[in-house]
């Protein structure tokens, strides 16, 4: 199998305004054995309609000032709205690339587009933690990915940029994170979010008063009293109603005391079968996990999950029951990105044929099926923010310090484990996946390489999962 090393990449090319196609990435990979170089690209349909025919040109510049233009003609692209496409790699003459420029020349019948503009990262939100939490709730309710949509959206003439950074043309929802355009301005307004939170607290408190017990009613009363101090609606009147209900519940409680022995027995039975104690315990466990991760510095490791014996790869082996070590790669607001320190297993990217979508691969199904089910307990699963994934080789979070990995095993540095947990003695590092789909991997020397430019999805490589976790 040939090995390819990425020698150039532009993960944020400029975009021609109002063009329905955007080139998301330009990358050049070199065959380390022959020296041949290949150009790889990734494009997306940012419009609302499918595009059958797409043509674009990538201009490359060498270190000596020489240039090379590569034309892509996708006559049967059939790219659905909001979908991503990775055209077949093209061999190029240049070997050292210092710059690139991608220009779309046709999208179906359209052949003329505005000048390219740089697409900057969204500005950070000017919200506090409580406001961001309410925003996350509202985003989730609309079916959007709150973890992706973490910035300020911007409106432009004929198009808009979502808080996740994606460009959208005449779309009502973002193709990348699912956020609804008409609601984003409100979700960036502190006053709106505060009002939404107070309305949520008010409605929840009123609902508790109708059905809750004394302790819950007291908590609802306190919430309503705080809202009353802020002059919110009829919360003052509702707080007084809560006081009357609490007094009534107290009288009933005295009557119940006549049957104290029976009541104690009944209470014991109710507590035994009630989910509330376990729920409170789970919340405490979740908070403990979050505080543990929050206290760990970037590039340091933290334990989360275990190599469960329920997974056949670890059953009856020395590694069974040991904690999984994760490197804290990045912290962003109320979440953190973790990646396993070791490869947890060796697997194929997809068991049956090539797939061009990570979520369609057997590797994705394993990580978000058996692995997430058995490796984590309820509290640990509760702090996960999104799917278990594998980092793209283009990720800014893959530093040279954390590109090296061995398969998970014992405390002895030279010992590592194959997929069947056969103990091997080796002082080298293992190759593992990095890319969605498999367009690249991290080789034994820590370099970003490509497996026959994406054609080796049935090869067995190490799996090094990554996850976002909630810190609040």
What would the pLDDT profile of 152-162 be if each residue is shown by its tens digit? 999 999 999 99
Confidence class for position 74, pLDDT limits 50, 70, 90:
very high
Confidence class for position 417, pLDDT limits 50, 70, 90:
very low
How far from 77 is each of 21, 51, 428, CA to CA, in Å?
Answer: 12, 7, 42
* Range 51-77 average pLDDT: 96
Confidence class for position 357, pLDDT limits 50, 70, 90:
low
Structure-token pair, residue 248? 């009534």
So what's the pLDDT on residue 260?
A: 53
- With CA atoms as reference, report the closest residue to 151 among 186, 181, 126, 180: 126
* Range 52-67 average pLDDT: 96
* Range 10-33 average pLDDT: 93
So what's the pLDDT on residue 398?
A: 55
So what's the pLDDT on residue 434?
A: 52
pTM of the predicted model, to two decimals? 0.59
Parse the chain into domains and list their residue ranges.
Answer: 3-117, 129-188, 192-273, 287-470
* Range 88-99 average pLDDT: 94
Q: What are phi and psi of 229, to 5 degrees?
A: -65, -30
Identify which of 106-110, 202-206, 454-458 has the greatest average pLDDT: 106-110
Residue 212 has pLDDT above 90, yes or no: no
Q: What angle do CA 188, 191, 194 make, to 5 degrees?
A: 95
Confidence class for position 225, pLDDT limits 50, 70, 90:
confident
Mapping DSSP to helix (H, G, I), strand (E, B) and coil, where does residue 322 land? coil
* Helix 214-229 with 235-256: angle, nearest 10 deg: 160
Q: Is 363 or 411 the better-scoring residue by pLDDT? A: 363
So what's the pLDDT on residue 178?
A: 95
Q: Is 230 or 43 the better-scoring residue by pLDDT? A: 43
Strands 441-442 and 448-451, how do they pair?
antiparallel
In angstroms and rounded to an integer, the radius of gyration of the C-alpha atoms of the chain is 27
Residue 378 has pLDDT above 90, yes or no: no
Structure-token pair, residue 105? 């020349």
Residue length, the chain? 472
pLDDT tens for residues 240-292?
877 777 777 666 655 545 545 555 555 554 545 455 455 567 678 888 999 99
Residue 195 has pLDDT above 80, yes or no: yes
Mapping DSSP to helix (H, G, I), strand (E, B) and coil, where does residue 144 land? coil
CATH of 3-117, one of 3.50.50, 3.40.630, 1.10.260, 2.60.40: 2.60.40
So what's the pLDDT on residue 453?
A: 43
Contacts of residue 89, Cβ cutoff 8 Å, sequence gap at least 6: 29, 38, 39, 40, 453, 454
217-256: burial string, b at 16+ Cβ within 10 Å, e else = bbebbebbbebbeeebeebeebbebbeebbeeeeeeeeee
Confidence class for position 204, pLDDT limits 50, 70, 90:
confident
| Chain-centroid distance, C-alpha 211 | 37
* Range 231-242 average pLDDT: 78
Confidence class for position 239, pLDDT limits 50, 70, 90:
confident
Strands 441-442 and 432-433, how do they pair?
antiparallel
So what's the pLDDT on residue 278?
A: 55
Residue 236 has pLDDT above 60, yes or no: yes
* Range 443-471 average pLDDT: 64
Confidence class for position 439, pLDDT limits 50, 70, 90:
very low
First and final CA of the chain: distance in angstroms? 45
Contacts of residue 73, Cβ cutoff 8 Å, sequence gap at least 6: 55
Q: What angle do CA 13, 57, 36 make, to 5 degrees?
A: 90
Residue 85 has pLDDT above 80, yes or no: yes
Rounded CA-CA distance 300/6 in Å is 27
Residue 45 has pLDDT above 80, yes or no: yes
So what's the pLDDT on residue 187?
A: 95
Are the CB atoms for 69 and 47 separated by under 8 Å? no
Percent of the chain topping pLDDT 90: 41
So what's the pLDDT on residue 361?
A: 79
How far from 104 is each of 1, 29, 58, 79, 359, CA to CA, in Å?
Answer: 34, 22, 9, 14, 28
């Amino acid at each position: 199998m040939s090995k390819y090393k990425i020698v150039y990449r532009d993960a944020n090319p400029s975009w021609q305004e109002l063009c329905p196609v955007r080139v998301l990435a330009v990358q050049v990979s070199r065959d380390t054995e022959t020296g041949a170089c290949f150009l790889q690209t990734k494009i997306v349909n940012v419009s609302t309609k499918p595009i059958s025919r797409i043509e674009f040109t990538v201009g490359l510049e060498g270190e000596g000032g020489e240039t090379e233009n590569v034309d892509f003609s996708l006559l049967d692209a059939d790219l659905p709205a909001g979908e991503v496409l990775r055209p077949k790699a093209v061999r190029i003459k240049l070997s050292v690339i210092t710059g690139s420029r991608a220009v779309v020349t046709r999208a179906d019948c359209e052949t003329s587009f505005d000048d390219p503009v740089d697409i900057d990262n969204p500005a950070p939100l000017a919200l506090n933690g409580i406001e961001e939490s309410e925003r996350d709730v509202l985003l989730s309710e609309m079916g959007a990915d709150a973890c992706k949509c973490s910035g300020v959206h911007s409106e432009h003439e004929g198009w808009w940029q979502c808080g996740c950074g994606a460009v959208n043309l005449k779309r009502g929802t973002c193709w990348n994170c699912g956020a609804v355009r008409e609601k984003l301005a409100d979700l960036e307004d502190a006053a709106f979010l505060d009002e939404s939170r107070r309305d949520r607290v008010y409605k929840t408190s009123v609902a508790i008063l109708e059905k809750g017990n004394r302790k819950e009613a007291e908590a609802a009363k306190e919430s309503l009293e705080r809202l009353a101090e802020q002059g919110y609606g009829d919360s003052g009147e509702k707080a007084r109603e809560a006081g009357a209900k609490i007094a009534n519940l107290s009288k009933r409680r005295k009557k119940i005391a006549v049957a104290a022995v029976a009541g104690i027995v009944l209470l014991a039975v109710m507590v035994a079968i009630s989910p509330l104690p376990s729920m409170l315990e789970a919340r405490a466990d979740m908070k403990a996990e979050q505080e543990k991760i929050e206290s760990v510095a970037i590039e340091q490791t933290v334990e989360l999950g275990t190599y469960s014996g329920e997974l056949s790869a670890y059953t009856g082996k020395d590694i069974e029951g040991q904690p999984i070590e994760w490197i804290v790669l990045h912290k962003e607001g109320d979440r953190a990105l973790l990646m396993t320190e070791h490869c947890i297993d060796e697997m194929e990217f997809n068991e049956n044929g090539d797939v061009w979508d990570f979520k369609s691969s057997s590797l994705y199904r394993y990580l978000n099926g058996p692995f997430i089910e058995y490796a984590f307990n309820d509290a640990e699963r509760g702090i996960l923010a999104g799917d278990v994934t594998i980092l793209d080789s283009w990720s800014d979070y893959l530093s040279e310090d954390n590109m090296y990995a061995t398969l998970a095993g014992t405390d002895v540095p030279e010992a590592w484990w194959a997929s069947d947990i056969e103990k091997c003695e080796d002082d080298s590092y293992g190759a593992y996946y990095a890319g969605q789909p498999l367009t690249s991997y991290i080789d034994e020397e820590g370099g970003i390489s490509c497996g026959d430019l994406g054609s080796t999805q049935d090869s067995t490589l190490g799996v090094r999962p990554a996850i976002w976790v909630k810190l609040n």
